[in-house]
Structure 1
Amino acid sequence: MPEYLQDLGDGVYAVDTGFQRDHFDAAYLIVEDGRAAFVDTGTNHAVPRLLGALAALGLSPAAVDWVIPTHVHLDHAGGAGLLMRSLPDARLLVHLRGARHLIDPTALYQGALAVYGAAEMERSYGQLVGVPAERVVQSSDGMTVQLAGRPLLLLDTPGHARHHHCVWDEKSRGWFTGDTFGLSYREFDTPPNGAWIMPTSTPVQFEPEALYASVERLLSYAPRQMFLTHYGRIGGSEAEVRRLAALLLRQARAMVEIAQAQRGSPERHAALTRELEALYLRELALHGCTLAPERQRELLAMDVELNAQGLGVWLDKQG
């Protein structure tokens, strides 16, 4: 089995897409009775790994029935169009608010291009490929699709993005959470306390009250594990998932308080990045993280910047 492919049991496999660094961005492959579904795809550059995962498991591209991006941010769905070109029988199942962006990804690309520039777009994402409209299925809240008789339930889970759904897999008693259940990097795991988690308020649709409600809705299914895009499986028991949820929500509320304190500040973004980094470092110290502070800051840097940007957008929308 390739090193980027991890068997998580219950027919669930994690594929490290290689985006940014190892163990940062995962796609998932669900296999049931010779049929398969991908949840999230990573970027175009991940497509060879996704197809390689199928080959490693003895599956042909024609075995894939569903490609299910949790939302249309490019680290989750940037490779969807290119991947679909290699999957003759697959349908793309996407939130109804995101479908048009994967059919015609021009707006997605231009928005990212304005932020990152042409060189970084090519390095990280490549040229986005649209999905033919006739191959796209729009999800609705409470919708269930079948994978060889294995039900996959879709719930509308705004808070991180309005075009976000999560996928409930009864067989594994796990949620494929995209970014709704935050970020948990394996580098921050500690022997006494296990996984650590943090929220993501990436621009431009962070809505804290909606996020709190979405997390509580996920918990109502008594999940045993959560499959995060960033990164991997966490949990192992209902109690552990609830511990992580409490940590996630506590930090999300603290982030909102930090943002509100900077309302109207001329140095708002600098203050937000400074205060967010301090929050996460304090939480990691409580968690027992023994990584050098410089390494902690390095691992947090991208998310501190994006979370600060997203909180700024949220503040601006509040008026």
Structure 2
Amino acid sequence: MHGIHTIDTGFARPSFDAAYLVAERGRGAFVDSGTAHSLPRFLDAIAAASLQPKDIDWVILTHVHLDHSAGAGQLMRHLPNAKLAVHPRGAPHMIDPSALIAGAAAVYGGEDIVRRDYGDIVPVPKDRVVEADDGFVVDLAGRALLCLDTPGHARHHIAIHDERANAFFTGDVFGLSYRELDSPGGLFIIPTTSPVQFDPDAAHASIERLMRYEPEAMYLTHYGRVTDVARLARDLHELIDAMVAIGKRHVSAPDREQRIAFDFIDLYADRAHRQGVTLNTAEIVKVLEVDIRLNAQGVVVWLDRNSR
């Protein structure tokens, strides 16, 4: 649809982590790069769109969390004419990814684990990196892709408005919605507050900013194209507030991260069941297990940051 091709990056499990190829008049732009392990899938996507690597003009990163950016350096080596567009806060980490690697190693237990999960993360040459400030427009063969600064999930986050499709590539600022949790009541969505830069006020503001464009669809990194965006935006606002309230309730508990995670399970399962999701709570947790843990960690980091 509209020349937009969804790429399952293969990270973690099927239909978990998406990137996109936008094709326009024989030229192409990727939105996000997946991990270094994802490279064959991106090269296959180029061929499936009847393009060649030399026809790709841009790789645009919504943000530099490794599930969406770790493959950028490897991918750029195969795209001789492409530039990399990234938030100004993220640009230094693409030119020198050592801090990203060290940070991920500290969270996940070592550089060997980072390499196992994300592959060999290599730098992007400085002269190929373009800082996508708020309002920066990527010109893809006359097709305007507008980059908007959208903090809340991360301070190095942009969302990309595709005027042709009247849609946004939202990165993680418009939450996550997995197809396993679709129901006759519609799509189920939750915010993603993963550490370390969650900011609820900024998240609310970014969602509202996207909605002022009255988009017909959102292309989520987790996972795929979604519609009914006005209702999904309302759900996200409600859930952000509910998650913050849970965090504040447990702010002084010695085991607060665990308590927050348990309350998130109750919150998400209740919302899902009221919407018509037929999976039981254990099955819902299986789908959301990683996100529940990361969301609890992100809220704890936010609580600590705001208690100083």
Instruction: Give TM-score, length-normalised by structure 1.
Output: 0.95
Q: What's the counterpart of residue 171 of structure 1?
A: 164
Per the alignment, in what secondary structure is the counterpart of residue 253 of structure 2?
coil
Number of residues of Structure 1 aligned to a counterpart in Structure 2: 306
Q: What's the counterpart of residue 23 of structure 1?
A: 15
**2 CA distance for matches of 1:257 and 1:57?**
46
What are the superposed Cα offsets for residues 114-168 of structure 1, whole Å, 9 maximum, x if unpaired? 1213443222101211000000000111111200000010100000000000000
**1 CA distance for matches of 2:42 and 2:82?**
14
Q: What's the counterpart of residue 246 of structure 2?
A: 258
The answer to whether the aligner puts 1:154 opposite 2:147 as a matched pair is yes
Of the three residues 183, 189, 197, the one matched with 1:205 is 197
The answer to whether the aligner puts 1:289 opposite 2:277 as a matched pair is yes
Q: What's the counterpart of residue 37 of structure 1?
A: 29
Report % sequence identity: 53
Q: What's the counterpart of residue 80 of structure 1?
A: 72
**2 CA distance for matches of 1:261 and 1:42?**
36
Of the three residues 85, 88, 95, the one matched with 1:103 is 95
Q: What's the counterpart of residue 13 of structure 1?
A: 5
- Say if 2:269 and 2:284, in contact at 8 Å, map to a contact too: yes
CA positional deviation for 1:292? 3.1
The answer to whether the aligner puts 1:305 opposite 2:293 as a matched pair is yes
Q: What's the counterpart of residue 315 of structure 1?
A: 303
**1 CA distance for matches of 2:275 and 2:73?**
40
1:203-242 mapped onto 2 (5 Å cutoff): 203-235=195-227, 240-242=228-230
Which amino acid counterpart does residue 112 of structure 1 have in structure 2? A
CA positional deviation for 1:267? 1.4
The answer to whether the aligner puts 1:244 opposite 2:232 as a matched pair is yes
**1 CA distance for matches of 2:138 and 2:292?**
36
Q: Structure 2: which 5+ residue stretches go unaligned?
A: none
The answer to whether the aligner puts 1:143 opposite 2:136 as a matched pair is yes
Question: Would you identify which runs of 4 or more consecutive aligned residues in structure 1 move more than 3 Å?
Answer: none
The answer to whether the aligner puts 1:121 opposite 2:114 as a matched pair is yes
**2 CA distance for matches of 1:103 and 1:84?**
12
RMSD: 0.8
What are the superposed Cα offsets for residues 286-319 of structure 1, whole Å, 9 maximum, x if unpaired? 1111113322111111001000000000000111
**2 CA distance for matches of 1:83 and 1:143?**
22
**1 CA distance for matches of 2:91 and 2:70?**
13
Q: What's the counterpart of residue 84 of structure 2?
A: 92
